[in-house]
Amino acid sequence: MNKPKVFLTRKWPDSVESKLTSRYDVTFNPLDKPLSAKDLKSALQNYDAVCPSVCDSLPADVLNVENKRCKIIGNFGVGYNHIDIQAAKNNHLIVTNTPGVLTESTADIAMTLLLMSARRGAEGDRLVRSGQWTGWCPTQMMSSDVTGRTLGLIGFGRIAQAMARKAHHGFGMKILYFKPSPADPGVINNLHAVRCDSIEQVLQQSDYVSLHCPGGESTHHLINEQRLKLMKSTAHLINTARGDVVDSKALIKALSEKWITGAGLDVYEGEPNIDKGFVNLDNVSLLPHLGSATIATRTAMGEKVLTNLAAFFADQPLPDRVA
């Protein structure tokens, strides 16, 4: 019997690619660059499984392409706001994602950004590299304390809870969160976390605000000018969720005009094209979407896709089906 045909839109860790090629007839994208809509349509027409990543846009126009061979989209990533899920359902396309395995590494990056922003890490690095550092000085680059301060989480899923654990048990931070429905009492007790009634309350009461909601229409520009104005002038905003959860122009204004003290960003509206306004600001720490970028995590993400494909081709229930 012919092996199912699988298409990978980007380079994956070698060990996972080897396993894939031993099981399927796999085609790789040798350029390892995001594909055009035309290429993605052609992949849907020519392969049984297409495995995109978060930087491949799969809107209705692409998913509606005629004469599809594809039956399953095995997304390499937990977020799937780049895939029009309703259009996938309308086209009888199964979609799976990779939850669970990137929780800790993404929470680590959120904590990294919190610390970088609080302690002006990126700015200090730039100072040393520039040769402008003249030596220790009692008032140089004074920054914000982290230990014992208040962390407010908007969204309280796996990654937010992992960050809360690190912040509370590692740095003695007080935890506030907003999520429409109350979280598991065991989790709350362990973190002594307090649920706020609204996003506004989190913004008003926190020294650090970290965003952990999914991307998509319902959270587009959730953090806008009006909400940024509610934050303490000493506060920092951390975003490892999705870029368009924050109105970039409003954040640039807030940072330039010092409505807030700093921000740490791993994700951007329209990434990888970053609003130039961020680049010239010293009080924003910028990372290139590194949340899940550890060898172990990226390998585990690939393994998750493998497990879902194996289940699909064996007619078994899919562990991580989102459509």
Residues noted as catalytic = 242, 271, 289
The reply on whether position 78 binds ligand DGY by CB under 6 A is: yes
Closest to 110 measured CA to CA, from 211, 202, 201: 211
Q: How far is the CB of 290 from ligand DGY (least distance, A)?
A: 9
Provide, rounded to whole angstroms, the least separation between the CB of residue 101 and ligand DGY.
9
Count the residues in the chain.
323
Instruction: Using alpha carbons, list the distances in angstroms from residue 81 to 42, 51, 55, 234.
Output: 21, 15, 10, 32
CB of 52 or CB of 152, closer to ligand DGY: 52
List the x/- string, 286-305, binding to ligand DGY by CB under 6 A.
Answer: -----xx-------------
Least gap, CB of 247 to ligand DGY (angstroms)? 20
Stretch 13-72 residues interacting with ligand DGY (CB under 6 A): 54
User: Is residue 246 involved in binding ligand DGY (CB under 6 A)?
Assistant: no
Taking the complex as a whole, the smallest distance from the CB of residue 288 to ligand DGY amounts, in Å, to 11
- Selected binder of ligand DGY within 44, 93, 102, 176 (CB under 6 A): 102
What is the number of other CB atoms lying within 10 angstroms of the CB of residue 159?
27
Own/partner long-range contacts of 41-44 (Cβ < 8 Å, ≥24 apart): 41/65, 43/7, 43/9, 43/70, 44/68, 44/69, 44/70
77 binds ligand DGY (CB under 6 A): yes
Task: Determine if 109 is a binding residue for ligand DGY (CB under 6 A).
Answer: no
Sorted by sequence, the CB contacts under 8 Å of residue 100 that are 6+ apart come out as 158, 304
Query: Could you tell me the two tokens for 82?
Result: 């780049």
Tell me the residue type at 18: S
Rounded to 5 degrees, φ, ψ at 83 are -115, 130
* Closer residue to ligand DGY, CB minimum distance, 99 or 152: 99
Question: Phi, psi (5° rounding) for residue 48?
Answer: -75, -35
CB of 54 to ligand DGY, least distance (A): 5
Residue 262 interacting with ligand DGY (CB under 6 A): no
Which residue ranges make up the site for ligand DGY (CB under 6 A)?
Answer: 54, 77-79, 102, 291-292
